[in-house]
Amino acid sequence: MELRGKFIVFEGLDFTGKSTQVTLLAERLTQVGYSVITTREPGGTPLGEAVRKVILSTKNVDLLPFSELLLFITCRAQLSVEVTAPALEEGKVVLSSRYRLSSLAYQGYGRGIDLGLIRRLNESATGGRHPDLTFLIDLPAKIALARKRGKGDRIEGEDIVFYQHVRQGYLKLAQDDPLIHRIDGTQSVRQIAQAVASYLNL
């Protein structure tokens, strides 16, 4: 599979190892000659990293669901213009921990915000850019939360019911999109990395 100029995203609940898999895939792609950019949401730009602190701070417990959504959208818009689009135009492979699907799962299924509204905001923020492929690292909420160490950030502090809604959202979204590939998150880090590599014929 030719991956130059492709945009690949890793999605899933918190504590599923998305960032680890981004790093491992980046290393593997670099070894076989690809130029790779890695990023994350929220974050990835100076503005995005500043907003990330606001979103995740436990001091902001009163942050409204819609305000939370708009902050994520702000980060996404900035990242799309500053990092993602230029890198793809240069033929680089862009690997991201989270993207549009996270807002649908977390703010849509988790917070109850209208999915149609989230989709419209996503389209505007990203110029209509969709990932070429999304790996959904799927893990039951109970197992994911068992991996949490300490109190975690504001979103990681949500209860199991919230995460169950988010997971069901992810699974529903994956059913409706052939470009989302589900991977069993109960496997080891190495097994997940191998599943990703095999899917990409690496």
The structural domains of the chain, ordered by start, are 7-199 (3.40.50.300)
The secondary structure of 136-165 as a DSSP string is EEE--HHHHHHT--SS--TTTTS-HHHHHH
Other Cβ atoms within 10 Å of 27 Cβ, number: 12
The pair phi, psi for residue 78, each rounded to 5°, is: -65, -45
Per-residue pLDDT of the chain (202 residues; tens, 9 = 90+): 799 999 999 999 999 999 999 999 999 999 999 999 999 999 999 999 999 999 998 898 899 999 999 999 999 999 999 999 999 999 999 999 999 999 999 999 999 999 999 999 999 999 999 999 999 999 999 999 888 866 677 888 788 999 999 999 999 999 999 999 999 999 999 999 999 999 999 9
